[in-house]
Structure 1
Amino acid sequence: MLMWATALAFLLSLVAVGPLREISPSWLQSGAELVAVISFFAVVCLLESSGSNTDQSNPTT
């Protein structure tokens, strides 16, 4: 759920920064850039934490 909300926030902020840049106010552009960076960081952290937890320091074979 958190990952979907983060991905949605990232996509909406990219729309505000990208194609709608000319009509959006400056405060919205700076906020959208900040949301894009934070949500991208959150997605990377969520993907990293949900990955396989293989411990390479103690092989069993």
Structure 2
Amino acid sequence: MLIWTTAVAFLLSLVAVGPLRELSPSWLQTGAELVAVISLFALVCLLESSGSNTDRSNPAA
């Protein structure tokens, strides 16, 4: 659920920064850029933590 929320926040912030740049005020653009960076970082961290199913019994792997 958190991954989907982060993905939606990232996509909405990209829309505010991209095609709607002329229509949105400057404070919204700054906030959308910040949300895009934070949500991208959180998305990468969440995907890394959910996909790291490593076997720690074999350190050479």
TM-score normalised according to structure 2 size: 0.88
> What is the rounded CA distance, in whole Å, between the counterparts of 2:35 and 2:52 in structure 1?
28
> What is the rounded CA distance, in whole Å, between the counterparts of 1:15 and 1:48 in structure 2?
25
Structure 1 unaligned segments of length 5 or more: list them: none
Deviation digits for residues 29-59 of structure 1 (CA, Å, limit 9, x no counterpart): 0000000000000000000000132135156
Secondary structure, aligned partner of 1:49: helix
Root-mean-square deviation over aligned CA pairs: 1.4
Provide runs of 4+ in structure 1 moved above 4 Å.
none
TM-score normalised according to structure 1 size: 0.88
Percent identity, aligned pairs only, is 80
Query: How many residues get paired?
Result: 59
Match of 1:26 in 2: 26
